[in-house]
Amino acid sequence: MEEQRAAFIIDATVANFEEAVLQASFNTPVLVDFWAPWCNPCKMLMPVLTKLAEEFEGKFILAKVNVDENQELATQFNARSVPTVKIFRNGAVVDEFMGAQSESNVRKVLDNHIERASDKMRLQAGELIQQGDLDDAITLLQQANQEDPDNTRVRLDLISVLFLKGEYADVEQAIHSLPLAERETPEIKGLQNRLLFAKVAADADEIEALRSAIESDGNNSEARYQLAAQLLVDGDTEAALQALLLLLMRDRTYGDDAARKGMVAILESIGEHEVTSKWRRKMSSALL
């Protein structure tokens, strides 16, 4: 038992850190606990980490770094206070937290990094998607969700494939059934924003027909909005934003401020990016 325990609960030092943590993290997540003997919060956290390491039986490695004896490592990895916990994967820090945490909170962090059987099914589903076999991918992800309902990544993948297949009603129903916390994630919010335009594009004319309609009637706001939707679905995000900007300047009242709301939705989907900043400035100028 002690030999098994030693394999996944170790004392990491300057001498063995390269092999025991950095190299090992290419095969297994390594949770590094920077601690000190005089630190009371460390004494609270250590039993929690040890319990989880023993429970997971090698699905992650717990590496304990005594900062008093390994100040070089604490400095190198910016562990300014103790306890500081950093998770290494593929030779780099991928997550971290500071201070004593409850077991449930630590489990949530670990859940993002420890491979589960359902994650292997996700990879298989991804291969099916690459092959264009969306139906079998959906079936596999549904099975993974039934077997491991706590894996939020499976649900996100399933919703994304339903979106790719154009099953928009199923996408809406699946999003609605998610816990509130999951509905508020950037991934789901972005999907909801894309869903808005996908539904418009599904009932719209083709891009060239919409452009011809606009050339014939520059006041055709519906055609402009549909053009933006088609361009976005086609992957031309900036052209879609340009179409909505023109609609915003020409007909602010269309669709209950649909142009502004549409631009906001697209920019939220992109996230923080130089493209986002540029188009926010253009939108602000148009609203003056």
- Residue 111 a catalytic site member: no
The residue annotated as part of the active site, out of 24, 39, 110, 244, is 39
Q: How many CB atoms lie within 10 A of CB 146?
A: 10
Strands lying side by side in the sheet with 9-11: 9-11, 61-66, 30-35, 84-89, 92-98
126 class by beta-carbon count within 10 Å (0-12 exposed, 13-18 middle, 19+ buried): middle
- Residue 141 a catalytic site member: no
CB 188, CB 178: distance < 8 Å: yes
- How many CA atoms, within 13 angstroms, populate the side-chain half-sphere of residue 233? 23
The residue annotated as part of the active site, out of 10, 20, 30, 42, is 42
Residue type for position 271: G
* Cα dihedral 43, 108, 87, 8 sign: positive
Q: Write 116-124 long-range contacts (CB < 8 A, 24+).
A: 116/148, 116/151, 117/147, 117/148, 118/144, 118/145, 118/147, 118/148, 118/151, 118/154, 119/151, 119/153, 121/147, 121/154, 122/153, 122/154, 122/157
Show which residues are catalytic.
39, 42
